[in-house]
Amino acid sequence: MKKKTVHIIPHTHWDREWYFTSSRSTIYLIKHFKEVIETLENKPEFTFYLMDAQTSLIEDFLKYCPEYKERLQALVQAKRLMTGPWYTQTDQLVISQESVTRNLLYGTRYAKELGHSMEIGYVPDAFGQGGNMPQIYKNFGISRFLFWRGVADNRLKQTEFIWEGDDGTQMVAEQMPFGYYYGGNIPEKEEEVKPYLDESIGALEKKASTENIYFPNGFDQAPIRKNLPELVELFNKVDSDRKYQIASPETFFDAVEEEAKDLPVIKGELTEGKHSRLHKSIFSTRADLKQQNNEIENYLANVLEPILTISHSLGNDYPHNQLEEIWKLMFENAAHDSIGGCNSDTTNRDVAFRYKLAKDKATNLLDLHMRLIAERIPYKHDLNFTLFNPLPYKRSGVVKANIYLPDGTFKMKDEHGGEVPFTILNKKDLTEYVLNQTIQLDPSKEIYIPEKVYYAEVLIQVTNTNGLGYNSFYLEFDDGEIDIPTHIEQHMIENEYYQITMAHNNTLTITEKQTGKTYENQMIFVENGDDGDSYNYSPPRKDMIIDSTTSELIDIQASKSELNQQLDMTLKMLVPYDLEQRAEGIADREFVVKATVVLLNEEEIIHFEVKIDNQVHSHRLCVQFDSGIVSKFSTADQLFGNVTRPVYLPEMEVWEEEKWHEAPISIEAMQSFVTLHDDKSTVGLLTEGVREYEIVGEQYDTIQLTIFRTFSHMGKENLLYRPGRASGESIVETPDAQLIGEISATFAMLYKQASFDQANIAKLAKEYLSPIQCYQFSDFLNGRLIYAYRDEGKTNSLSYSLATFENMDAVFSAIKKAEDTNQYILRLFNPYLNRQATIDEKIVNNGSFVLLDEVTEDQATETLAHNQFKTISINLL
């Protein structure tokens, strides 16, 4: 009888930060790496060591110990020290598709530079697996998957299976059923070893479908077990029924694939928390940090990179190194604990600082490159500005911009002298601040300097702005009147698509004007307690649920201008101060919600902004929209596509009896939108902030967006939704997580009498998150305010388009310069449920299809199947 082979995988799972800071982690990482290198060099029989598959750890180490690089490279090249494919161990559910992609791109590139990138999707501790990850992995040459969390035994009885992504891509998968830390504590007394092996290996044997057993030897920040070869020799001595050997994940899969036959197929997302905690409501933990992450991710992929591409096409250097630095700051924060927010307050302050750095670098990089373009435009007037469209097709609509304006009245005109409608929403006098900083490098040059300077927020009505390019505009003094918002007596606003009124119960009544269909009970704010911690929302056992329908309407005002109409309301709710008052039924603290609803001309989404001054503890605030659509499923966007999820999981009826590790709640993640829909209508919510939703209501017809939740501790025991031990450290208090102070959120709604595919919500979401950018170029602004620059030759045109692709319905995910060539990278995906998406023939005919690594040739296609994406390398010049 053939012996079963126990593949012992020595490893460490190295959190870069958690309840400890990254500074502490790095100090100990240096010590750890030195020990690993020395042990592997001195013990040839210690054949492999897995360094958690994240190359950022090696970067951190070599930053302080560059003298170790050649020794480390030799071990990586020999495939003894395993690293890659990740840069950091990223989350897969609330991190954007481009963030996940770039994490693997930078991770595999660096690992290959060192000598080898492990060709396994190794994810030991992420809180669930994204349904389109197999396709992403395969794009990096990765066809094997090794993980812990996400599959319950009602779907999978064994550790080996085929994981099929939502697009149909398949890969071989192995689950570590008892966690990556399962074999971290091995006794060394000979008389204790055999009973230990029989119990621990025996449990794994019952799960394995081949003669190969994956036995991880390590845990969080585990030191290398220097005497592991001697222990393996001991194992083989005391247990003659099995063969024990030190292995790597790659050699383990080699052995498994020789034996495995007819493996079961598991499809889609892996988000079941029966045997391992998924922390599904971690999507809203530290909503303030989540919102920063989402805004910056959108800014990088949707705005900055496309405009840098425009800039490069006009002769400016593409800042690859600066972008890499910004993305890596985001990857540090994308690691599962960091983005989870399930950290100490001290660590979360480090996370917040990295977001500040990333945002500052990104916004200033965009500012510089818009200026590099604008300073070479031959403007013919004194007050000029340029609008940049980051999408490769013409766009029309209302653009919000910030511009420095002079005193007086004037008209806004395009480059051809055509009048452009605009509205000044507000302005602030900054005359002294601006003019005191003006610098004239050439004093003999006459320049226009206004007597007064106002910093203004304006709306501009544009028509057919150039695709992936810019258009020029200017101000011309005139005796006419300037449009500003004026007060409306009735509490009703409207545009071409909607009429919105305030109802008697503090809700909105929204009428879709094209069909006359009315939606009542829109925008209900719901406040309740949160007895959870940094990992899980959990309702208190004695809760009070308070909604805005019975709150006091303190103020309501409506206003309109030529380009928008706006409804502002202030609601005062009375809520408990903390969980103790909530349990006693005391609700006497004022909780004021300020909500703004905006309709823009000719725009089919409704904009919302919510501001709260939070002064109460351990609670949650959500907002609800009744779709009127009774559905068993919701549809939200995920990595490069859509995912349809049940609105209620029947496992909720049995989870306590079956002893799930946490309740199988239907709180879910999205990338940018969630919808309820049927064959004739679609109601969708688009978000710039927290990416967490739930479908609620007696008939599951109401979309609920989490605005924020607050809590007191990193970990707590015996939660209603998560019984048993605490996740994290129960001793760590997190006062910052109470989010005391102002909290804001922005989102939008779509109501359309059309099927999901006809509603084109993915395209609307892309445009919502890819706003047209404005840069103002006037001589009086040159100086310390934006740095002084000399005059440049006027080599650019008044308007410009790098590329316009109108004949397609696939949605762009990325537009950037290729990493290693002067080609440009276009990435597109299918946003539909039931039909293929087309790619413009200009892209198909002129581009080369490549994988996500931007190098390997891929199969060309004119259409994209459900949840499929493609990357094209193309010369647009």
Residue 196, CA distances (Å) to 185, 201, 215 in order: 10, 8, 13
- Domain 805-874 in the same topology as domain 384-484+771-800: yes
pLDDT tens figures, 742-770: 999 999 999 999 999 999 999 999 999 99
Question: What pLDDT score does 440 carry?
Answer: 85
pLDDT reading at 113 higher than 70: yes
316 φ/ψ angles, rounded to the nearest 5 degrees = -90, 150
> Among 202-206, 647-651, 790-794, whose mean pLDDT is lowest?
790-794
Average pLDDT, the chain: 97
pLDDT band for position 337 (cuts 50, 70, 90): very high
pTM value?
0.97
| pLDDT mean over 400-405 | 97
pLDDT reading at 507 higher than 80: yes
- DSSP assignments along 494-560, one per residue: E-SSEEEEE-TTS-EEEEETTTTEEEEEEEEEEEEE----SS-----SS---EEGGGSEEEEEEEEE
Q: Domain 384-484+771-800 adopts which CATH fold?
A: Immunoglobulin-like (2.60.40)
Question: What pLDDT score does 40 carry?
Answer: 98
Residues facing residue 848 across a β-bridge: 873
Q: Are residues 812 and 393 in contact, defined by beta-carbon separation less than 8 angstroms? A: no
Task: Indicate the domain borders of the chain.
Answer: 4-276, 283-365, 384-484+771-800, 805-874
| pLDDT mean over 820-828 | 97
pLDDT band for position 479 (cuts 50, 70, 90): confident
Q: Which amino acid is at 42?
A: N
| pLDDT mean over 833-859 | 97
Pairwise CA distance, residues 573 & 588, whole Å: 9
309 φ/ψ angles, rounded to the nearest 5 degrees = -65, -45
Pairwise CA distance, residues 224 & 162, whole Å: 32
pLDDT reading at 519 higher than 80: yes
Closest CA to 274 of 658, 683, 814: 658
pLDDT reading at 588 higher than 80: yes
Q: Are residues 760 and 681 in contact, defined by beta-carbon separation less than 8 angstroms? A: no
Pairwise CA distance, residues 255 & 299, whole Å: 44
Pairwise CA distance, residues 260 & 44, whole Å: 30
> Can you tell me whether residue 508 is helix, strand or coil?
strand
pLDDT band for position 279 (cuts 50, 70, 90): very high
Pairwise CA distance, residues 802 & 824, whole Å: 11
pLDDT band for position 785 (cuts 50, 70, 90): confident
Residues facing residue 427 across a β-bridge: 456
Tokens of 235: 């194992």
Pairwise CA distance, residues 358 & 710, whole Å: 25
Please tell me which residue, 877 or 618, carries the higher pLDDT value: 618
| pLDDT mean over 798-821 | 97
Residues contacting residue 118 through CB under 8 Å, at least 6 positions apart: 50, 53, 82, 83, 84, 85, 111, 248, 249, 250
Pairwise CA distance, residues 287 & 744, whole Å: 10
Question: What pLDDT score does 439 carry?
Answer: 87
Class of domain 283-365: mainly alpha
- DSSP, res 758: H
pLDDT tens figures, 359-372: 999 999 999 999 99
Tokens of 512: 């879709």
pLDDT band for position 1 (cuts 50, 70, 90): low
Q: Domain 805-874 adopts which CATH fold?
A: Immunoglobulin-like (2.60.40)
Pairwise CA distance, residues 291 & 749, whole Å: 18
Question: What pLDDT score does 29 carry?
Answer: 98
Measured at the CA of 321, the angle between CA 15 and CA 466, to 5 degrees, comes to: 115
Class of domain 4-276: alpha beta
pLDDT tens figures, 425-454: 999 999 999 999 988 888 888 889 999 999
| pLDDT mean over 99-122 | 98
